[in-house]
Structure 1
Amino acid sequence: MTKLRIRLRGPSLKATALGLLGAGVLALGAHAQSSSTMGMSATGASTSLETLAKDANQWVLPSGDYANWRYSRLNQINTTNVKDLQVAWTMSTGTNRGLEGQPLVVGNMMYFQTSYPNYVYAINLDNVGQIAWQFTPPANEDAPPVACCDVVNRGPAYANGKLFVDALDGTVFALDAHTGKVLWTANNGDPKQGQTVTSAPLVIGNKVFIGVSGGEYGVRGYISAFDVDSGKMLWRGYSEGPDSDMLINASTTINGATGQPVGADSSLKSWQGDQWKYGGGTTWGWYSYDPKLNLLYYGSGNPGTWNPSQRPGDNKWSMTIFARNPDTGEVKWVYQMTPHDGWDYDGVNEMVLAPLEYQGHTVPGLVHFDRNGFSYALNRETGKPLAIFKYDPSVNWATGIDPKTSTPIVDPAKMTEEGKNVTNICPASQGDKDEQPVSYDPQTKLFYAPLNHLCMSYQAFNVKYMAGFPYVGALVNMTPGPGGYRGRFIAYDPMTGQTKWENHDMFQDWGGALTTAGGVGFYGTLTGQFQAVDLRNGHILYSFKCPSGIIGNPMTYMHNGRQYVAILSGVGGWAAIGMTNNLHESTAGLGAVGLNASLNQYTNLGGALMVFALPTTVASAN
């Protein structure tokens, strides 16, 4: 039975238009793979990346591994010596906008990608003072104006001597990882239709998977699979529409909430008329993969428009966890977290694949911290819910989860509708967590989550769809949550809903988390503090003020016997859209500007890669 427990404890022209609308309305090292080791089937080829990911000296996948753990077995840096960390080297990114990604390390090479204009850098770790190569995609001035919220990018992907990067305008590039030479290009979006791309690709076998952004422009979401050798699109699965477009089999695709097949036209029946054609459900979050089950997992975002009165129904399958066969794209199961979303609670946050103890047995688990403030623990083979809890006790838009339907029990007083200003809704549209990824530590079996803590007022209004123009339909004002703080960093058990410890921050904790075998966790703050915490109790063991606020994700690697921790410093994203787009009205930036109006008193724009390590004398002693 689904459980619920409340724990009480002490962007650019059209991105600016969104704001105004809100205001008034290698050398490759020894570990790199040769082409002969990379098979062509999904299972065989992905094994090569799996093998690389098991080498803790490297960081070859955006999240460190396919399971999205963001955990490292390196332990040279530990709770005793982390206080001695020093800046080992730094590098300017040449950009001023938000940096939401993380570097990769493959052999002796580091790769990272910036916000628009999406510079890609390769650094030989034997000579960090020189850029090995740099690639800049051709500029497309149509893309920044339709980028909500900020012109971010979440990093490159690697496989078989190739680096895969996506540009803001939807162009996909395969680069020679040794030289930066373009091997092929493909198209995954059209900015004139409001489509942009900001997510990190994921490579599984002979396919590279890439989603799409643009839910605030009426973009109909999808995920695309491209051939890693040619760039040919092999399949595309949509978030809404006919079963054939979604690659849903009505008789075999399971609705995880009910345990039954979804039935014919499950999406079409949940939309009025042709609203599904611009129904959002974009796919700009993180992706994970289970090689044993051969399933790709990701979430779809909010439905368009933000005015729920214009789209009666459950609006399937926006706000949904998808489990797809990566070979064919066919959907095995779906689970919708927020039917008929009236708050912009995007469902794109990462799916972490970890073993979970359920009724005396270990089951293949999937854990998801949704924007709506609920944590979901599901059986990742079937989509069956195992445990659902509020991970922030301030959540009030829903009173709980119906144990029969596994759907939220919405408080009618917090349901938004056209022409009505609904106040004190918690969480705000930025959610109790946005895309900032959590980390799972297999030693403590806890999840370490950087979070928001926000509430809002929300006034929906009628809006007309026009391709390439904002399609929002709501005025939002966000405020700090109860207690007056905006950010939390917590250690959390999703099977009990228990928060083991928590740290509060003045602003949202918008950067991702990293855990290590040394018992240390790392994360950054919007004010630019890069922090190391004791995973047992949350005590801050180290803090360094970086040049700009942090919305990127820490990673770690070993080189020449020395462990390094790297983070991209560069404030931006939705959290700092007022700074990046020079907006000042409190409702501008989809309601985010007034919330963080004082952030510029603590940090400034700018991009830098920051790399930390212990002094050589301390490192050699460990």
Structure 2
Amino acid sequence: MRGGNRAALLLFSLSASGPAFADEPVLQTVDYANTRYSKLDQINASNVKQLQVAWTFSTGVLRGHEGSPLVVGNMMYVHTPFPNIVYALDLDKDGVIVWKYEPKQDPSVIPVMCCDTVNRGLAYADGAIILHQADTTVVSLDAKSGKVNWSVVNGDPKKGETNTATVLPVKDKIIVGISGGEFGVNCHVTAYDAKSGKKVWRGHSQGPDADMIMDPEKTTSLGKPVGKDSSLKTWEGDQWKTGGGCTWGWFSYDPKLDLMYYGSGNPSTWNPKQRPGDNKWSMTIWARNPDTGAAKWVYQMTPHDEWDYDGINEMILTDQKVDGRTRPLLTHFDRNGFGYTLDRSTGELLVAEKFDPVVNWASKVDMDKGSKNYGRPLVDPHYSPEAKDEDETTTGICPGAIGAKNEAPAAYSPETHLFYVPTNHICMSYEPFQVTYTPGIPFVGATVSLQPHEGDPETGRFIAWDGVRGRVEWSNTEPFSVWSGALATAGDVVFYGTLEGYLKAVDARSGRELYRFKTPSGIIGNVTTYGHRGRQYVAVLSGVGGWAGIGLAAGLTDPADGAGAVGGYAGLSRYTALGGQLTVFALPESLPLPKSRD
């Protein structure tokens, strides 16, 4: 297996006329750059209103369905939440089940999972389907038969270590992360050999330099060497050992620079008074060499996090003009409400602007390179739990802990040069309290209550963002947070789903709604598209859940449960119910199909 630019189109092009199986990776992220952009244009802004349901498939599992189906040749691979069943469906035979893999996991892992039993999907590499189970077991399955090639355990659920994320196949390795920030896990990223499952390297988010695979003189932050013990100096005593910094988000990779990118999550505990210091390198964008794990550069977005603003959201890689010259860029929409653009080669910070108008915990990010606060957010003490007495509630913090954007991935169109971003327009109250670390027991240390921004009953927006200028180009309001991943296409159409269950298509340039269809349950999955026998299809998983839908998914009724999400999304139960279904759309067969611009 060799990483390269050809991987960018595999999710779409292989199923149209290619071989049944390919030698290169097929990813949940669509391409290594995480653009979630398809060159397919049979479905376009003029005809998308005529989409019809082509076929459906029930997964047989309730709870939240994140991620998306994976298409390789004439096969579609569909995953479920816990117990993480994998189905292989033959697209040439109306979705006949070719094989089914159902892992036998201990259900005791369920209460250890933070925010529903979701899983963000599968990856394909070298004839194998790669699944990272809830119990942290990484499994390689033969793509044709479903037979297990190898499996390896990546963590220990008894300590609070679980998994919800997909993996990154790159070259001869499988890169995986870990969850457990709410249990005081010392989190990491790990590379396994793709053929044998043998562990190759592991890089932690905090601790000694050797644990992080960080060279004090070669690893940089904002252009300067991080220096010896850069993490240890920012934690009190041995607190780094229970420091969180988990890695349950998305990975991207630049084959030219030979660097992989990802984000680390919140420090543990949520009570900021219990862990003085910047708590490096939680809340950080990382650039690592995938062969050795060596960190090239890091940038901490939210030093000494006081609000649970996990930094794990996807890193989208583009090449765009900045100040008259084309530069390799990385764009990241953080939970903290700022949209960041960096030079992905050097880690230079180019843009840091608010993408939701009500963000108030910080006034701005200091962009003055001559300032001692360069690159740091300027925190408003009025919204700082650290500035209050312990057990005192701080109200009106925006965004809420759920973030101005959570894990649902954005998309990028090289035609419009815009990013299409699902967002949460929501605030919170936050009350820290003292907590003691015990392995496998929640190590949270704060009570959170989510609520809409005052005067804004809607809690969701779907926006188009200019990453070079750092500004919103257009914004569509939604009744509830947009928890679905976006898809941009060459047909000038952008797709996303809503928590009530609508699949929506909007004009890529104006945001005007072109199509909507109500699926059986709330959509927290990521919209995908593929070609098969000359026709373009659009597919999405329905199944309400995730943090925003945890009340419905787990049958919770106390408004404080689900870290405040039950109360914050109480009205959702009037619009949707539990489900687990794949819905596939296509244009009517009688409709004359436009010729591709390719």
Per the normalisation by structure 2, the TM-score is: 0.95
Query: Residue 28 of structure 1 corresponds to which residue in structure 2?
Result: none
**2:197 paired residue among 225, 228, 231:** 231
Work out whether residues 48 and 587 of structure 2, in 8 Å CA contact, stay in contact via their aligned partners in 1: yes
Instruction: Show structure 1 runs of 5+ residues with no match.
Output: 1-37, 39-43
Deviations 1:254-291 (A, max 9, x none): 012xx100000100100001110011100000000000
**1:110 paired residue among 76, 79, 96:** 76
> Are 1:255 and 2:221 counterparts?
yes
> Are 1:606 and 2:579 counterparts?
yes
> Are 1:265 and 2:238 counterparts?
no
Q: Distance in 2 between matches of 1:356 and 1:222?
A: 31
Q: Give the C-alpha shift of residue 145 in structure 1.
A: 1.3
Q: Give the C-alpha shift of residue 45 in structure 1.
A: 4.8
Q: How does 1:116-127 map to 2 (within 5 A)?
A: 116-127=82-93
Q: Distance in 2 between matches of 1:618 and 1:372?
A: 45
Q: Give the C-alpha shift of residue 498 in structure 1.
A: 2.1
Work out whether residues 49 and 60 of structure 1, in 8 Å CA contact, stay in contact via their aligned partners in 2: yes
Q: Give the C-alpha shift of residue 586 in structure 1.
A: 1.5
Q: Give the C-alpha shift of residue 619 in structure 1.
A: 5.3
C-alpha change, 1:116 and 1:53, in structure 2 (3 Å) is closer
Q: How does 1:357-396 map to 2 (within 5 A)?
A: 357-396=321-360
Query: Residue 24 of structure 1 corresponds to which residue in structure 2?
Result: none
Q: How does 1:48-87 map to 2 (within 5 A)?
A: 49=7, 52=10, 55=13, 57=15, 60-87=26-53
| 1:224 counterpart letter in structure 2 | T
Deviations 1:145-173 (A, max 9, x none): 10010010000010110000011000010
Q: Which moved more, 1:546-555 or 1:127-136?
A: 127-136
Query: Residue 29 of structure 1 corresponds to which residue in structure 2?
Result: none
Work out whether residues 12 and 529 of structure 2, in 8 Å CA contact, stay in contact via their aligned partners in 1: no
Work out whether residues 10 and 30 of structure 2, in 8 Å CA contact, stay in contact via their aligned partners in 1: no
Q: Distance in 1 between matches of 2:574 and 2:124?
A: 38
Q: SS in structure 2 opposite 1:618?
A: coil
Q: SS in structure 2 opposite 1:413?
A: helix
Query: Residue 168 of structure 2 corresponds to which residue in structure 1?
Result: 202
Deviations 1:206-235 (A, max 9, x none): 100110011111111101101010000101
Work out whether residues 373 and 431 of structure 1, in 8 Å CA contact, stay in contact via their aligned partners in 2: yes
C-alpha change, 1:54 and 1:262, in structure 2 (3 Å) is farther
Q: Distance in 2 between matches of 1:45 and 1:549?
A: 35
Query: Residue 416 of structure 1 corresponds to which residue in structure 2?
Result: 385
> Are 1:521 and 2:485 counterparts?
no
Q: Give the C-alpha shift of residue 129 in structure 1.
A: 3.9
Work out whether residues 56 and 72 of structure 1, in 8 Å CA contact, stay in contact via their aligned partners in 2: no
Query: Residue 427 of structure 1 corresponds to which residue in structure 2?
Result: 399
**1:90 paired residue among 49, 56, 64:** 56
Q: Distance in 1 between matches of 2:550 and 2:542?
A: 16
Q: SS in structure 1 opposite 2:49?
A: helix
Q: Give the C-alpha shift of residue 495 in structure 1.
A: 1.9
Query: Residue 540 of structure 1 corresponds to which residue in structure 2?
Result: 513
Q: Distance in 2 between matches of 1:129 and 1:350?
A: 31
Query: Residue 485 of structure 1 corresponds to which residue in structure 2?
Result: 458
Q: Distance in 2 between matches of 1:356 and 1:268?
A: 37
Q: Give the C-alpha shift of residue 390 in structure 1.
A: 0.5
| 1:313 counterpart letter in structure 2 | G
Query: Residue 20 of structure 2 corresponds to which residue in structure 1?
Result: none
Q: Give the C-alpha shift of residue 56 in structure 1.
A: 6.9
Work out whether residues 11 and 71 of structure 2, in 8 Å CA contact, stay in contact via their aligned partners in 1: no
| 2:383 counterpart letter in structure 1 | K
> Are 1:146 and 2:125 counterparts?
no
Work out whether residues 39 and 489 of structure 2, in 8 Å CA contact, stay in contact via their aligned partners in 1: yes
Query: Residue 339 of structure 1 corresponds to which residue in structure 2?
Result: 303
**1:187 paired residue among 130, 153, 160:** 153
**1:500 paired residue among 473, 477, 480:** 473
Q: Give the C-alpha shift of residue 583 in structure 1.
A: 1.5
Query: Residue 295 of structure 1 corresponds to which residue in structure 2?
Result: 259
Q: Distance in 2 between matches of 1:53 and 1:317?
A: 33
Q: SS in structure 2 opposite 1:83?
A: helix
Q: Give the C-alpha shift of residue 616 in structure 1.
A: 1.0
Query: Residue 558 of structure 2 corresponds to which residue in structure 1?
Result: 585
C-alpha change, 1:296 and 1:504, in structure 2 (3 Å) is same
Query: Residue 430 of structure 2 corresponds to which residue in structure 1?
Result: 458
Query: Residue 412 of structure 2 corresponds to which residue in structure 1?
Result: 440
Work out whether residues 12 and 531 of structure 2, in 8 Å CA contact, stay in contact via their aligned partners in 1: no
Q: Give the C-alpha shift of residue 55 in structure 1.
A: 3.2
State the aligned residue count.
578
Query: Residue 530 of structure 2 corresponds to which residue in structure 1?
Result: 557
Work out whether residues 62 and 200 of structure 1, in 8 Å CA contact, stay in contact via their aligned partners in 2: yes
Work out whether residues 102 and 154 of structure 1, in 8 Å CA contact, stay in contact via their aligned partners in 2: yes
Q: Give the C-alpha shift of residue 128 in structure 1.
A: 2.6
Q: Distance in 2 between matches of 1:71 and 1:621?
A: 19
Work out whether residues 205 and 281 of structure 2, in 8 Å CA contact, stay in contact via their aligned partners in 1: yes
Deviations 1:465-494 (A, max 9, x none): 111111101111111124221000011102
Deviations 1:312-361 (A, max 9, x none): 00000000000000000000000000000000000000000011322211
Q: Distance in 2 between matches of 1:563 and 1:617?
A: 14
> Are 1:595 and 2:568 counterparts?
yes
C-alpha change, 1:408 and 1:205, in structure 2 (3 Å) is same
Q: Give the C-alpha shift of residue 621 in structure 1.
A: 5.1
Q: Give the C-alpha shift of residue 618 in structure 1.
A: 1.6
Per the normalisation by structure 1, the TM-score is: 0.91
C-alpha change, 1:126 and 1:551, in structure 2 (3 Å) is same
Deviations 1:9-59 (A, max 9, x none): xxxxxxxxxxxxxxxxxxxxxxxxxxxxx3xxxxx4556745746837579
Q: Give the C-alpha shift of residue 584 in structure 1.
A: 1.5
Work out whether residues 490 and 501 of structure 1, in 8 Å CA contact, stay in contact via their aligned partners in 2: yes
Deviations 1:161-194 (A, max 9, x none): 0000011000010000000000000011111010
| 1:336 counterpart letter in structure 2 | Q
Q: SS in structure 1 opposite 2:93?
A: coil
> Are 1:401 and 2:373 counterparts?
no
Q: Distance in 1 between matches of 2:12 and 2:327?
A: 22
Q: SS in structure 1 opposite 2:350?
A: strand
Q: Distance in 2 between matches of 1:550 and 1:88?
A: 18
**1:569 paired residue among 517, 542, 559:** 542
Q: Give the C-alpha shift of residue 435 in structure 1.
A: 0.2
Identity percentage over the alignment? 56
Work out whether residues 76 and 91 of structure 2, in 8 Å CA contact, stay in contact via their aligned partners in 1: yes
Work out whether residues 57 and 74 of structure 1, in 8 Å CA contact, stay in contact via their aligned partners in 2: no
C-alpha change, 1:54 and 1:354, in structure 2 (3 Å) is farther
Q: Distance in 2 between matches of 1:465 and 1:194?
A: 12
Q: Distance in 2 between matches of 1:48 and 1:235?
A: 27
Q: Which moved more, 1:346-355 or 1:403-412?
A: 403-412
Higher RCO (CA < 8 A, seq sep 6+): 1
| 1:413 counterpart letter in structure 2 | H
Q: SS in structure 2 opposite 1:143?
A: helix
C-alpha change, 1:457 and 1:487, in structure 2 (3 Å) is same
Q: Distance in 1 between matches of 2:416 and 2:352?
A: 20
Query: Residue 476 of structure 1 corresponds to which residue in structure 2?
Result: 448
Q: Distance in 1 between matches of 2:592 and 2:257?
A: 40
Work out whether residues 11 and 72 of structure 2, in 8 Å CA contact, stay in contact via their aligned partners in 1: no
Q: Give the C-alpha shift of residue 430 in structure 1.
A: 0.6
C-alpha change, 1:317 and 1:439, in structure 2 (3 Å) is same
| 1:476 counterpart letter in structure 2 | V
Deviating 4+ runs (over 2 angstroms): 44-60, 619-622
Work out whether residues 14 and 72 of structure 2, in 8 Å CA contact, stay in contact via their aligned partners in 1: no
Q: Distance in 2 between matches of 1:308 and 1:498?
A: 31
Work out whether residues 562 and 619 of structure 1, in 8 Å CA contact, stay in contact via their aligned partners in 2: no
Q: SS in structure 1 opposite 2:550?
A: helix
Work out whether residues 389 and 494 of structure 1, in 8 Å CA contact, stay in contact via their aligned partners in 2: no
Q: Distance in 2 between matches of 1:168 and 1:487?
A: 28
C-alpha change, 1:381 and 1:348, in structure 2 (3 Å) is same
Work out whether residues 56 and 74 of structure 1, in 8 Å CA contact, stay in contact via their aligned partners in 2: no
